[in-house]
């Protein structure tokens, strides 16, 4: 994987399921949703998204199906169960009881429980003080409604996969599931892991493969500067990149990831929120004189800051990076950025999936020569994520030349 726009061949998705039915007006904020979605409609929208990819020759892998397949592997089972009960709320007695409950489940049932969660009244053999003080509807193992945003818990760079370290408590267990897939599923046998969930916070929505050898990493609400630095060291040490642009972004819900601000739609073009286009800065990080290693024992070269668009064009070896605005006036731009107008998924150069509701942005894309595959997202968008957020590309064709 060397770009955002090479023809997409394989992608990892997760069809939203019963975990969304766990959302209520009482817990949706804690679980990072802006509302309580209509689950059946969200599933219809996701099915249409998957079908649009399949119709264009993309192989769609489903995370829950792969997870069920690896839950027959004893080491994988023990890893994900240990992550599920690693919660200070539980205490030793309830932790042991929950471990026993999960360990007794068949592979498919275990995969379902890990995603959907386990409520107090669903736990067989529940006991202990923590259990008795819990309300009937409280979660011993919380659900993972954000799992459908598969971009964040892993990202491929070259032939290696970075299993990321998610910043929000509601999501940190997602990385344990993706780590188990990549470590134990035969589909990924022999794949090297570039990063791990025990490291500094780094999320896939903040990582853009601008061109072969050039990464941009957003630093803000979800990804730390330490995470960006460690990723830079590792891609340099393994020959996966020569330049990493570190891009500070506002630590706000509307701009939680770099891909909520901009995404690539062609080899030299991106759609971008115009309110930040002129102010976005980048620090250029390179290996310097000595190639760093994974032990973090060498210094990196850090230069800047420069305007992001200038730094990106220089690193990519092009005269300029074309920018397509999200909206033509400030109000429309703000509305369509909030509705993930920038969060497109490129299927090939000049071919991108976008939410149909962002009509002004989509019209601007079409006018710029970008074919738009418009999908519905009225319910999917309640978790603040668009087509790019909902997809983890596993394989793209290299760009010509």
* Per-residue pLDDT, 312: 97
Single out the catalytic residue among 389, 390, 392, 394: 389
End-to-end CA distance of the chain: 15
Residue 177 to residues 65, 147, 337, Cα–Cα distance (Å): 12, 10, 30
Q: Where are the alpha helices (DSSP H) in 238-329?
A: 274-277, 308-316
* Per-residue pLDDT, 342: 80
pLDDT in tens, 41-65: 999 999 999 999 999 999 999 999 9
In order along the chain (401 residues), what is the average pLDDT of each group of 10 residues?
96 94 76 76 94 98 97 97 96 97 98 96 94 92 93 96 92 94 96 95 96 96 94 94 94 71 95 84 89 74 95 96 76 54 90 91 93 88 81 95 67
CATH number for 67-141 (one of 3.40.47.10, 1.10.3930.10, 3.20.20.70, 1.25.40.10): it is: 1.10.3930.10
CATH number for 8-58+146-396 (one of 3.40.50.720, 3.75.10.10, 2.160.10.10, 3.30.379.10): it is: 3.75.10.10
Q: Please report, for the chain, the start and end positions of each structural domain, with discontinuous segments joined by +.
A: 8-58+146-396, 67-141
Peptide bond into 42 cis (omega under 30): no
Q: How deeply is 16 buried, as exposed, middle or buried, from its count of CB atoms within 10 A (0-12, 13-18, 19+)?
A: buried
Q: Within 13 Å, how many C-alpha atoms sit on residue 179's CB side?
A: 22
Residue with tokens 């997602």: 174
CB 31 within 8 A of CB 145: yes
Could you tell me the pTM of the whole model? 0.93
* Per-residue pLDDT, 99: 98
CB 156 within 8 A of CB 164: no
* Per-residue pLDDT, 26: 75
Residue 114 to residues 128, 147, 157, 215, 251, Cα–Cα distance (Å): 22, 11, 27, 33, 30
DSSP output for 14-52: ----GGGGG--TTTTTTTT-SS---HHHHHHHHHHHHHH
Grouping H, G, I as helix, E, B as strand and the rest as coil, residue 177 is helix
* Per-residue pLDDT, 379: 79
* Per-residue pLDDT, 98: 98
Torsion of CA 234, 282, 343, 316, to 10 degrees: -70
**For this structure, is 392 an active site residue?**
no
* Per-residue pLDDT, 253: 47
CB 160 within 8 A of CB 170: no
Label residues 228-266 b or e (16+ Cβ within 10 Å = b).
Answer: bbbbbbbbbbbebbebbbbbbbeeeeebbbbbbbbbbbb
Residue 349 to residues 160, 178, 264, 266, Cα–Cα distance (Å): 23, 28, 9, 5
* Per-residue pLDDT, 389: 93
Grouping H, G, I as helix, E, B as strand and the rest as coil, residue 276 is helix
């Amino acid at each position: 994987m060397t770009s955002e726009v090479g023809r997409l061949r394989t992608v990892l998705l997760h069809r939203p399921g019963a975990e969304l039915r766990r959302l209520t007006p009482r817990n949706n904020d804690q679980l990072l949703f802006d509302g309580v979605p209509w689950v059946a409609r969200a599933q219809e929208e996701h099915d249409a998204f998957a079908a649009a990819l399949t119709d264009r020759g993309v192989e769609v892998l489903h995370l829950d199906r792969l997870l069920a397949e690896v839950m027959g592997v004893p080491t994988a089972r023990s890893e994900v169960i240990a992550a599920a009960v690693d919660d200070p709320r539980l205490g030793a007695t309830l932790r042991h009881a929950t471990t026993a409950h999960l360990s007794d489940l068949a592979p498919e049932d275990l995969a379902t429980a890990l995603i959907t969660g386990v409520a107090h009244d669903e736990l067989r053999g529940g006991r202990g003080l923590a259990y008795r003080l819990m309300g009937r509807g409280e979660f011993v193992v919380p659900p993972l409604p954000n799992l459908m945003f598969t971009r964040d818990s892993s990202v491929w760079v070259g032939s290696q996969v970075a299993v990321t370290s998610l910043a929000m408590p509601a999501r940190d267990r997602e990385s344990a599931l993706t780590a188990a897939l990549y470590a134990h599923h035969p589909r990924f046998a022999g794949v090297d892991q570039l990063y791990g969930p025990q490291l500094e916070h780094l999320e896939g929505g903040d990582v853009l493969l601008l061109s072969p050898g050039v990464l941009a990493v957003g630093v803000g609400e979800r990804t730390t500067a330490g995470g960006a630095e460690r990723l830079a060291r590792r891609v340099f040490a393994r020959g996966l990149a020569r330049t990493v642009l570190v891009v500070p972004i506002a630590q706000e819900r509307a701009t939680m990831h770099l891909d909520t601000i901009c995404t690539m739609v062609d080899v030299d073009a991106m759609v971008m929120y115009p309110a930040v286009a002129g102010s976005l800065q980048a620090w250029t990080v390179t290996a310097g004189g000595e190639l760093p290693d994974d032990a973090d024992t060498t210094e990196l070269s850090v230069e800047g800051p420069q305007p992001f668009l200038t730094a990106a064009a220089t690193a990519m070896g092009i005269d300029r990076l074309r920018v397509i605005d999200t909206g033509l006036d400030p109000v429309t731009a703000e509305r369509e950025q909030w509705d993930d107008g920038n969060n497109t998924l490129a299927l090939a150069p000049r071919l991108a999936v976008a939410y149909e509701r962002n009509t002004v942005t989509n019209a601007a894309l079409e006018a710029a020569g970008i074919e738009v595959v418009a999908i519905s997202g009225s319910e999917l968008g309640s978790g603040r994520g668009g087509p790019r957020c909902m997809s983890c590309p596993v394989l793209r064709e290299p760009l010509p030349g």
